[in-house]
């Protein structure tokens, strides 16, 4: 099951909960103040690359290694 982020509308505490996709919008209880006014946040994701100078295995290159820096 996915992890969703919520923010309490009373104390502004941000917290995460595991919830099924069909249950993600149901009311959540804030772990900090107990309020049931939390709303689901839009989560972000990041796509990173290796640190400068490092390399990763690449099955499509003739050398088998790409320098992604």
64: left (phi over 0), alpha (psi -120 to 50) or beta: left
In a domain, 11, yes or no: yes
Q: Would the pLDDT of 47 be above 60?
A: yes
In a domain, 5, yes or no: yes
In a domain, 68, yes or no: no
Domain total in the chain:
1
pTM above 0.95, yes or no: no
CA distance readout (Å), 20 to 4, 40, 46:
9, 13, 22
In a domain, 24, yes or no: yes
Q: Would the pLDDT of 6 be above 70?
A: yes
In a domain, 35, yes or no: yes
In a domain, 30, yes or no: yes
Q: Would the pLDDT of 64 be above 70?
A: no
pLDDT digits (tens, 9 = 90+) for 10-34: 999 999 999 888 888 888 999 999 9
Of 19, 4, 50, which Cα lies nearest the Cα of 58? Answer: 50
């Amino acid at each position: 099951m996915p992890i969703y982020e919520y923010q309490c509308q009373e104390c502004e505490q941000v917290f995460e909960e595991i919830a099924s996709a069909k249950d993600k919008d149901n009311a959540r209880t804030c772990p900090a103040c107990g309020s049931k006014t939390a709303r689901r946040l839009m989560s972000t994701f990041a796509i990173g690359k290796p640190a400068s100078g490092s390399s990763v295995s690449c099955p499509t290159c003739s050398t088998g290694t790409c320098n992604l820096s």
